[in-house]
Amino acid sequence: MEEGQAHTRRIRVVALGDELLTSAADPRALGWLGRVLSKTPVEELDLETYVLAVPGEGVEALSKRWEAEAALRFGPVAGEDAVERHLLVALNDHDLRSTSSARARLNLANILDRASQQGIRCFVVGPPPGPDPEHNRRISELNRAYQDVAERRSHPFVDIFTPLVDHAQWREDLTGNQGRPGQAGFGLIAWLVLHRGWHRWLGIQQ
């Protein structure tokens, strides 16, 4: 680098989750992550994002595959091609169909512990509420378990369940999109992520 030339930080974000992490059902084809990235200042920053989403996948399946797949996107850990490594984990309620909250909690802990051992900075987004009040009570318990796991390890955790479970616009969006968020719902998630530690996690000014 020439003397006086500004240093450009290279950050690579690998995002893990299910179909909600993609732009599926979004008329703007952005999803919540696309909206977040579009609002992220990138001056003097080389920011690359790779989405590793599998439809219908919960944290148990994710814990078995994330490491090998993420390593391919992160690249070398040293040398001139090395980058700052950030792992975004977007959670859901799929594990409630096949396992307990305690087991799901353990699987998330395994992901975060393995990432921390490798010097990867993690950011966790909790599961969103659905349209069914009874099922939401179970998601609420799961959400608290996930939050406890992340915060005990000093990783940022964005609780999207609590502010959205009784949010009129969120509920209307689910009703109009067969139980999935649409344009309004993705916008609400993006706002929460942007205002709950996203910039601090990346080490940039808001």
Does 39 reside within a domain?
A: yes
Does 128 reside within a domain?
A: yes
Does 1 reside within a domain?
A: no
Name, in order, each residue with C-beta under 8 angstroms of 42's C-beta and a sequence gap of 6 or more: none
Report the DSSP beta bridge partners of residue 51. Answer: 15
Q: How many domains does the chain have?
A: 1
Is residue 11 predicted with pLDDT exceeding 60?
A: yes
Does 2 reside within a domain?
A: no
Distances (CA, A) of 19 to 94, 120, 164, 166: 11, 23, 19, 23
Does 3 reside within a domain?
A: no
Write down the residue that tokens 């999935």 correspond to: 180
- DSSP codes joined into one string, 99-123: S-HHHHHHHHHHHHHHHHHTT-EEE
Does 84 reside within a domain?
A: yes
Is residue 203 predicted with pLDDT exceeding 80?
A: yes
Does 41 reside within a domain?
A: yes
Q: 118-172: per-residue pLDDT in tens? A: 999 999 999 999 999 999 999 999 999 999 999 999 999 999 999 999 999 999 9
Q: Which domain holds residue 29?
A: 9-198
What's the CATH number where 140 sits?
Answer: 3.40.50.1110
pLDDT of residue 90: 98
Does 94 reside within a domain?
A: yes
**Do 108 and 155 contact (CB within 8 A), yes or no?**
no
